[in-house]
Amino acid sequence: MVLKTTLTDMLGIEVPVVQGGMQWVGTADMAAAVSNAGGLGIITALTQPTPDALRKEIARCRTLTSKPFGVNLTILPAINPPPYQEYMRAIIESGIRVVETAGNNPGPFIKAFKEAGCIVLHKCTSIRHAKTAARLGVDVISMDGFECAGHPGEDDIGGLILLCKSLKELKIPYIASGGIGDGTGLAGALAMGACGVNMGTRFMCTVESPIHQKVKEKMVAADERDTTLMFRAFRNTSRVFKNKIAVEVVNRERKPGAKFEDVRELVSGARGRVVYENGDSDYGIWTAGQVVGLIYDIPTCKELLSRMVKDAEDRISALSKLVVAPSAKL
């Protein structure tokens, strides 16, 4: 048995699971491992220092898998923004056919990707943003619930509500993102009308994930309470693993009149990268979703996806037994 959905048909994949874009994690090795396991692997464009480096990483991924894979481009405001247009051109000129977009004002990028013949998945944290993205021409909405790692938006709406409302209000396919880590979550998402799921945190804790073993073990030992929300005072909320640095950031930003400059040195992306490299989970900020509470082991990507599909099939089969014919009236 296999799970055949709109997503698997559209992307040419075997398992309706997308590996979300993750800074410092979404390398060719990670993407290829997920794609070889039957899902859709994603290279994170901005993990590469330059557009030319991204071109090389895409080419390297093609040596590691013959299966479909995509590239994530997240557009966020910054004092010194990266050359987004150049990264976009690198993606298009490399012949990538599946792109995951996220962030602010994606309209021009979506338009360019669609004109190049790309399938575009766009991450949203609200129904209103999803409808806007649909009008802009995206093919699939990745509906990100409040449980997710990274940026959950400012509305604090969980995936259960967003997915059920998506079924009623969206006219294009959508996948569930945030809080998904096992077959039960996959089956639940499909029951709520999603055609697949997006996973980030769960893929961080796999054999092939390019982060230090000690960080993976930290995730296995964690539970669903071990994340925190920072940057709430700046309306740029981000869910991260609750370590010493994250707690200090939250404490500083809660002080009256707090400014970003008060926490800047603590939240450096370079420090977060060192966490993944040396295994000191308290050295810097690193993203993780509440799904850490559902992580009990460090499997290969193939083992993880095979297990998820089997467990989802079991849950779907069990649910089907709840539908019975009414008893004949006496």
Tens of pLDDT, residues 41-66: 999 999 999 999 999 999 999 999 99
pLDDT of residue 325: 85
The span from the CA of 31 to the CA of 19, in Å, is 7
pLDDT of residue 76: 86
Residue 119 forms part of a structural domain: yes
Q: CA triplet 16, 22, 28: central angle to 5 degrees?
A: 80
pLDDT in tens for each of the 330 residues of the chain? 689 999 999 999 999 999 999 999 999 999 999 999 999 999 999 999 999 999 999 999 999 999 999 999 999 877 789 999 999 999 999 999 999 999 988 999 999 999 999 999 999 999 999 999 999 999 999 999 999 999 999 999 999 999 999 999 999 999 999 999 999 999 999 999 999 999 999 999 999 999 999 999 999 999 999 999 999 999 999 999 999 999 999 999 999 999 999 999 999 888 999 999 999 999 999 999 999 999 999 999 999 999 999 999 999 999 999 999 887 555
For the chain, give the number of residues.
330
Give the DSSP per-residue string, 164-197. HHHHHH-SS-EEEESS--SHHHHHHHHHTT-S-E
pLDDT of residue 1: 61
What residues make up the domain containing 15? 7-211
Q: Which residue has the tokens 């569930």?
A: 176
Token pair of 218 as six digits: 């930290």
Residue 309 forms part of a structural domain: no
Number of domains into which the chain is organized = 1
Residue 285 forms part of a structural domain: no
* Model pLDDT for residues 255-277, shown as the tens digit of each residue: 999 999 999 999 988 899 999 99
Residue 235 forms part of a structural domain: no
Select from 16, 11, 74 the least CA-distant residue to 43: 74
Name the pTM for this structure: 0.95
CATH number for 159: 3.20.20.70
CA 43 to chain centre: 11
Residue 300 forms part of a structural domain: no
CB 177, CB 267: distance < 8 Å:
no
Token pair of 86 as six digits: 């150049």
- Phi, then psi, of 329 in degrees rounded to 5: -75, 140
Residue 289 forms part of a structural domain: no
Residue 328 forms part of a structural domain: no
Residue 298 forms part of a structural domain: no
Coil, strand or helix at 43: strand
